[in-house]
A and B are shown apart, each in its own frame.
Chain A
Amino acid sequence: GNSVTQMEGPVTLSEEAFLTINCTYTATGYPSLFWYVQYPGEGLQLLLKATKADDKGSNKGFEATYRKETTSFHLEKGSVQVSDSAVYFCALRSGGGADGLTFGKGTHLIIQP
């Protein structure tokens, strides 16, 4: 079956630090990959996505590259801000139709001023 593995949190960084959150996956076929972000008290929202190998998704300074050879989709940001504090979820979708997403367990990111 499909699965997503993320690094355990919480991850605590200082403002302007470089961020990497690791994500690896197991899936049949050629999945689409996603990063979702959940700010405190809110629902999840899509941060970025990549639909095929070597695609790079980017948004709000965050980037992730779909690496088929390492089955990875690591999230990176060059300089984090306090407002980036949230829970980040890596997810994949390998089926069609209404299959929904398979999520990782989430990584809680805390940015200190």
Chain B
Amino acid sequence: DTAVSQTPKYLVTQMGNDKSIKCEQNLGHDTMYWYKQDSKKFLKIMFSYNNKELIINETVPNRFSPKSPDKAHLNLHINSLELGDSAVYFCASSHWGSGELFFGEGSRLTVL
């Protein structure tokens, strides 16, 4: 009965490949986010969506493309992976306007 679930949990791939991370929430929230956590645990917002509409798009390379097929899903596709993309990617969700975010367990991406 996981509230925010991400797949896969671990992803090891070669430079130049394309990969996707999927996220689903069953909390009935209308807002979803992607955060990147680097090796020093620093968390930075990448994107936020409300009702499938992109709200925040921080200074993220356009190799990263989020897609929200419906309110409960927010996927992240990454093209032409680079070494610097190695990180843990967290999906989160909330009600619109709330600072209480519910996080998934994270997807650890390692680019070799």
Residues of A within 8 A of B (CB): 32, 34, 38, 41-46, 49, 87, 89, 91, 93, 96-103, 105-106, 108
Q: A97-B50, A97-B96, A99-B56 are in contact. Are A43 and B42 (CB under 8 A)?
A: no
Main secondary structure of the interface of A (DSSP, over half): strand
Beta-carbon contact of B100 and A49 below 8 Å: yes
Grouping DSSP codes into helix (H, G, I), strand (E, B) and loop, the B interface class, with mixed when no group exceeds half, is strand
Given A93-B99, A106-B41, also A42-B105 (CB < 8 A): yes
Q: Could you tell me the distance between the alpha carbons of A101 and B33 in the complex, rounded to whole angstroms? A: 10
Total residues of chain B contacting the partner, CB 8 A: 27
In chain B, what residue has the closest Cβ to A34? Answer: B99
CB atoms of B33 and A100 under 8 A apart: yes
> Closest residue of chain A to B51, judged by CB?
A98
Known: A106-B42, A108-B41. A98 touches B103 (CB 8 A): no
Residue of chain B at shortest CB distance from A91: B99
Q: Is the CB of A49 within 8 A of B41?
A: no
Option from A41, A44, A98 in Cβ contact (under 8 Å) with B55: A98
Interface mask (B6-33 → A, CB under 8 Å = 1, otherwise 0):
0000000000000000000000000101
* Interchain CB contact (< 8 A) of B43 among A41, A49, A103: A103
**B97 touching A105, Cβ below 8 Å:** no
B40 to A105, Cβ gap below 8 A? yes
If A46-B100, A98-B56, A101-B99 are given as contacts, then 13 extra A-B residue pairs at C-beta distance below 8 Å, sorted by A number, are A43-B90, A45-B102, A87-B41, A89-B43, A97-B31, A97-B55, A98-B55, A100-B35, A100-B56, A100-B101, A101-B101, A102-B45, A103-B44
